[in-house]
Amino acid sequence: MPRIPAQGPPPRRSAVPAGAGPGQYAPTQKPEPIPVGDRSREHRPPRDDRRVDHGRSSTRPPAPPAGAPPAPASPRRRRRRRTVRVGKIVLILLLVFVLGSIGLLFYYDSRLDRIDALPAYAGRPSDTPGTNWLIVGTDSRSDLSDAQRTNLSTGDADGSRTDTIMLVHNPPGTGKATVVSIPRDLFVEIPGHGSLKVNASYNIGGPALLVQTVENLTGIHIDHYAEIGFGGFDTLVDAVGGVDMCIDQPLNDPLAGLRLSKGCHHLNGRQALGLVRTRAFPRADLERVINQRKFLAALVSRATSPAVLLNPFRLFGFIGGAIDSLTVDERDHIWNLASLMFALRDPVTTTTPTGESVYTDDGLALPVTETTEEFFGRLRAGQPIPDELLVDAG
């Protein structure tokens, strides 16, 4: 009997899509499940160009396509650029300020009126420790108009005399400066002219002979010289807004154009000039030199105050007034004057000790005594001045 083969399942045939020719392979379209162990692919984010390097993340952005506009700067970079720009502006302004200040300094220095006031002569005292100024006030009216002479009550006298002679000794180190008034009637030896009142030396030989006379009297080497006249004096005071001064008695001096009650006053330029000129006191010139020192202290205090230093209009007005009214030695500069101003902010002030008035061939005068010589000897040596040698101190 013939063997009939066993019937199994029909052979599996590959599905051939329509249009596929014979002999062509087409993959099955039946979806296949994702293996359990590979589910991480199910939600994997799209790949970019950033790389992770063991805890260090690179923040380099992808390169922009060619021709694209540049990306805007980050806030940090903008702040850095702004800081650099502001720094440049501040530096330029600072440079302009420094150069402008230096330019003004040399401009004003070039305007100073200079003379040869410090002579070279045989036997001149050697350099004294510290810095020594001779400050002189004159009554020269040569640069005043008729209207100014009338307004300031200066009179019409010709020539030039000195009624104010001050020696300013600024010691080395941190000690206080000492302002010494030399009375115009002090009877001294004037080189080449015999014994006369000290102010006669200026009348005879001008600043150079006055400096030599003072150096012979004191034994102190004068380093700087400053002279102030009537011209520009009132403008100098008005430029700083006036000065405050107190007086111990009422004043009425028509010759000086002055009428003030006892007490403290805010003086303008005309009033201040009258106060430093007047001799309408029982002690005459000895009282006047006290007021001259008071005025100098008041002027320096006002000129170095914030109200002037921080106000360009007053500051430059004061500098201009000082330039117009001062005459200095040919070796002096405006920075020397600035140093003097700050040294005079809190000085010791006194009058040269002398003997009682005596009659001389030059009229009533004040004689030089051993006390006078001791006073200048201590000042020359840089020693403290004892109270008994200070006269009308302040």
Instruction: Provide the pLDDT for residue 239.
Output: 87
pTM: 0.71
Does the residue 19 lie in any domain?
Answer: no
Compute and round to an integer the Cα radius of gyration of the chain: 47
Does the residue 72 lie in any domain?
Answer: no
Beta strands in the chain (DSSP E): 52-53, 56-57, 113-115, 131-138, 162-170, 178-181, 186-190, 194-197, 224-228, 243-247, 251-253, 258-260, 263-267, 326-329, 348-351, 358-360, 363-367
Does the residue 343 lie in any domain?
Answer: yes
Instruction: Give the model confidence (pLDDT) of 100-119 as tens digits.
Output: 667 777 888 888 899 999 98
Nearest CA to 226 out of 305, 343, 94, 148 is that of 343
Expressed as residue numbers, the domain containing 288 is 116-389
Does the residue 96 lie in any domain?
Answer: no
Does the residue 278 lie in any domain?
Answer: yes
DSSP-based three-state secondary structure for 223? coil
Give the chain's largest Cα–Cα span: 188
Instruction: Give the model confidence (pLDDT) of 139-156 as tens digits.
Output: 654 554 555 444 444 444
Instruction: Give the model confidence (pLDDT) of 186-225 as tens digits.
Output: 999 999 999 999 999 999 999 999 999 999 999 999 999 9
pLDDT band at 138 (very low <50, low <70, confident <90, very high): confident
Does the residue 350 lie in any domain?
Answer: yes
Length of the chain: 394
Whether residue 253 has pLDDT greater than 70: yes
Instruction: Provide the pLDDT for residue 155.
Output: 44
pLDDT > 90 in the chain, percent: 28
| Sequence-separated (6 or more) residues with CB below 8 Å from residue 359 | 365
Distance in angstroms (rounded) separating the CA atoms of residues 145 and 235: 14
CATH number, residue 164: 3.40.630.190
DSSP-based three-state secondary structure for 20? coil
Does the residue 47 lie in any domain?
Answer: no
Q: Higher model confidence: residue 253 or residue 15?
A: 253
Instruction: Give the model confidence (pLDDT) of 362-388 as tens digits.
Output: 888 999 999 999 999 999 988 888 999
Does the residue 109 lie in any domain?
Answer: no
- How many structural domains does the chain have? 1
CA atoms within 13 A of residue 79's CA, in its CB half-sphere = 3
Instruction: Provide the pLDDT for residue 13.
Output: 52
